[in-house]
Structure 1
Amino acid sequence: MPRPELDAKLELLETRMDARVASIESKIDAFLASQAARDSAQGIRNSGFETAIQRLERSTAELKASLNTLKTTMIVTAISTVLAIVFGIASFNSALTSNMLAAFQAGRSSAGVEQRERPSPEPAPPVQAPSSAQ
């Protein structure tokens, strides 16, 4: 192959390769631009997720505080209920004892009144023996 033809073919190959390299470079630039757009969109999504996570953490903390308050309220209510039951039973026992004592005393005093109202048997006058002196 003569030298000028070889140079022309090489130039043509070089021109084609330059076009291919330029095409690949433009594709890479377009890909990098789309990647940058995706990265920025992902960053916006991530910031939205971070905000949502922070809101969930705050809600969780508020719920924990509310549950602690509820737990305290339930404990106080349980203790108050037990104390009310104990004091109620104690007052019932006291009232029952007081009523039983009053009934006993009333029975005792009525027995004393009945004894005072009954005439006590008077001693019989001594019987005198008949005298034989008559």
Structure 2
Amino acid sequence: MRLHPVGPLLAPHMASQQCKIAGFDIPANTHAFVNVWAIGRDPTIWGKPLEFCPERFLDSNIDVHGQHFELLPFGSGRRSCPGMALGLGNVHLMLANLLHVFDWTIGNSPSFSIELGIIVALANPRIVKASLKVSKHLLEAQADDAIY
């Protein structure tokens, strides 16, 4: 979420009155866009910013809920993502089900080059093949039970 945020720019904000931020005078009614893509790669904030190093968060109080401005994958304040709680609460369940039910084979070599736009996407998306590792009738029976 730090290196590859879905939206590189947060929803636009507007200064309701004149203010000063980090020594800059901001006139009233100025529109601002927060570049979370650049914040996630800033070497003054992150040591080795281009490396995937999840253990950097083990002894850190930084979280993704928008209170720490070093990491804002869902935005912050009134303009934060309304689906944040749903996404964070369900991602573990969905990933566990995918790993439990399917065997995965990688079809192409990994490349993490990105295309910047309104959203950030991989330039060469990973191609994988999923094959069932549990019996199909077990999945159908479980789906039938869930409906009733």
Larger CA Rg, structure 1 vs 2: 1
Q: TM-score if structure 2 supplies the norm length?
A: 0.18
Q: TM-score if structure 1 supplies the norm length?
A: 0.20
Higher strand share: 2
Bigger relative CO (Cα 8 Å, ≥ 6 apart): 2
